Amino acid sequence: MLKALIFPILLIFHPVHVTLTSINQAQGTDSLKVSFRMYYDDFLRDYKLYDPQFDFDKLSGDQSIPADLINKYFNDKVHIYVNHKLLKGKLLTVNILDNYEICLNLLYRSDKEPQRIKIRNQILTGLYSDQENMIFFSINKYEDAMRLTPEHDKEMHRLK
């Protein structure tokens, strides 16, 4: 009886290692709007691996890593290719919600009529073997999703 009660409680406290990314392009435009979410403590751990020289002691209270460094981190960890061309994102906003979750919004310049998209996501893949990076995209009325893991960190789709 006691085992039956303890197991569900342990599941509640078990960490979930997942990020969510959505990529949207309005038909006829050359811009991709990317929204990204992850747990803030996981972001800090991954950033420490990414940039071990960064001095976290200089951050105070609600201050976060500077936006230009977050932009570089994201562009280095997440590669978006459209028609075989690597795109670079421009960070628009960073929101940290209650020191619990970090949300990024980025803008990428792309082609007006993309034929294929390839995404490589290596966020948290060096930390957690059970990491899942979920990507949802809607490009010129074509919608699909990707589930990327440390063993399968990139995927390509032809856009119909």
pLDDT of residue 60: 64
Q: Which of 15-19, 61-65, 99-103 has the lowest mean pLDDT?
A: 61-65
Domain ranges, ordered by start, for the chain: 26-136
Residue that wins the pLDDT comparison between 14 and 84: 84
The backbone torsions φ and ψ at residue 110, rounded to the nearest 5 degrees and listed phi first, read: -135, -160
* Residue ranges of E strands in the chain: 18-25, 31-39, 78-82, 85-87, 89-97, 101-109, 116-121, 132-139, 142-148, 154-158
The two beta strands, 85-87 and 78-82, are antiparallel
Question: Distance (Å, rounded) from C-alpha 160 to C-alpha 158?
Answer: 6
Both tokens assigned to 152 = 């399968």
The two beta strands, 132-139 and 85-87, are unpaired
Both tokens assigned to 3 = 């085992």
Question: Can you tell me the mean pLDDT for 15-20?
Answer: 85
98-135 pLDDT per residue, tens: 888 999 999 999 988 899 999 999 999 999 999 999 99
What residues contact 34, with CB distance under 8 A and at least 6 apart? 21, 22, 23, 80, 89, 104, 105, 106, 107, 108
The residue whose two tokens read 């073997």 is: 129
